[in-house]
Structure 1
Amino acid sequence: MIQTRARSSRGGFTLVELMFVITIIGLLVKFAAPYVQNVRTGADASAVMADLNTIRLAGFDYLVEHGEFPRSGPLGAPPPSLADRLPAGFEFQYKDARYMWLSSRWRGSEIYAGPLVWGPPELVDQVAKLSSNERIRARGICWFVYTN
């Protein structure tokens, strides 16, 4: 006579079932992680773009009042001429990205000026994609250029 084991009243999962579920979860995480990272980078790029627009507006405010763009400032700090035109507590950085107001005279009297962002290349690339403005780009750097 063949004896069979009666199933206990305590239900549970076999090791094979648990391994299968863990494998499926691992695959989902593997494929979802890059998407989540892209969403984070996109959100960071939007925050950086908002900061750059704030800096740009301060620069144009200075231009209207003084007839010229403000002089360049150091990386990560506002130039003194823009400090009072920016919101209280405004920082010239966001996470690993740093900002700079850059003003340069090229081709005679024409002045090129605007905010520059320096930071992780994947973030800077996303920031550049958000703007239709003329810009000068290199790996990890993007300068949004305006002329007088």
Structure 2
Amino acid sequence: MNQTELQVLVEKVSREWFGKPFLHKAEFNNRLRTTGGRYLLSSHNIELNQKHYEEFGEQELIDIIKHELCHYHLHIEGKGYKHRDSDFRMLLQKVDAPRFCKPLKSIKRRKIVAQYLYECSKCNQRYTRKRKVDTAKYVCGKCSGKLLNIN
């Protein structure tokens, strides 16, 4: 799918599901990695992740377009367009748009590995941390005992 086909698709989805025209620009943005799309407040344009279309097909892309069009139409109308707003959630339900897109399989996700293990000298409570803790400055959260590094 190229940019002009995407523009036509977004305009079609807007007319069919919202009954309103989409008057701005829709385009693929290859720099998007963790999201399916985004609505730009300043320009009213919509950017979509082409990898979602390639991995999951046209229906997933249409679902992402519906989600972004909810932001678009509510923002233009001056209503609550953010994820936490009730106007946004009601419109998502009305047009059957997902709140989140499917995670891409092609993106490698880093696992968070705890590198440091600490134990309280009084109550033996264990703490795992990614970063080093200054044991002279911090104490156990349960009993205020001294922390010992067990590595």
TM-score higher than 0.5: no
Higher RCO (CA < 8 A, seq sep 6+): 1
TM-score with structure 1 length normalisation?
0.28
Q: Which has the higher strand share?
A: 1
Q: Which has the higher helix share?
A: 1
TM-score with structure 2 length normalisation?
0.28
Which protein is bigger by CA-based radius of gyration? Answer: 1
